Structure 1
Amino acid sequence: MTEKGKTNKDLADALKIAPETVSSWCTNSAQLSIKKLFEVAIYLNIEAGDLLVSSKK
């Protein structure tokens, strides 16, 4: 989200969910559903698979 200039609140507002839910996804304390995964990808204008692959090298 940082690369796209988006915050947890921006994503939460777009998906009509609580910002705490997005935060739990970002900290890996909860996993999003496949449906939400695709909604996030559409919102960020990226491929869903990009959200599943670690960017750490």
Structure 2
Amino acid sequence: MSIINRLDQVFKENKITNRVIAKYIKRSEGTVSKWRNNKRQPSMNELNKIAELLRIDVRNLLNKSDWSESKAPTYLEFKKSLKKS
């Protein structure tokens, strides 16, 4: 699984504990741990709540996307392939 969020880095940098986040978001510490280890992902609403609590931009909780090396078709390429089918 790819590393989607930066929660572990942000939490370490700011000395944030899973316990405090879990209580604020009303989730279990185990759930927050899974988010932190990228085994599961929080919803956008949950990410927004964390960002608000930490007073940071929600985008700082996510890794930037770089599709420059992607082998997946673009939207237009895929759309064209559907017409051929």
Shift of 1:14: 1.2
What is the TM-score normalised by the length of structure 1? 0.83
Query: Which of these two proteins has the greater Rg computed from alpha carbons?
Result: 2
Shift of 1:33: 0.6
Q: Deviations over 1:3-54 (max 9, x none)?
A: 3222001100111110001000011100111111101101111100000136
Q: Which structure's relative contact order is higher, taking Cα pairs within 8 Å and 6+ residues apart?
A: 2
In the other structure, the counterpart of 1:15 is 25
Higher mean Cα deviation, 3-12 or 42-51?
A: 3-12
Gaps of 5+ in 2: 1-10, 65-85
CA distance in 2, matches of 1:48, 1:30: 17
Structure 1 moving runs of 4+ over 3 Å: none
Q: How many residues get paired?
A: 54
Gaps of 5+ in 1: none
Classify the secondary structure of the residue corresponding to 2:52: helix
In the other structure, the counterpart of 1:2 is 12
The CA RMSD measured in Å over matched residues stands at 1.2
Identical-residue share of aligned pairs (%): 33
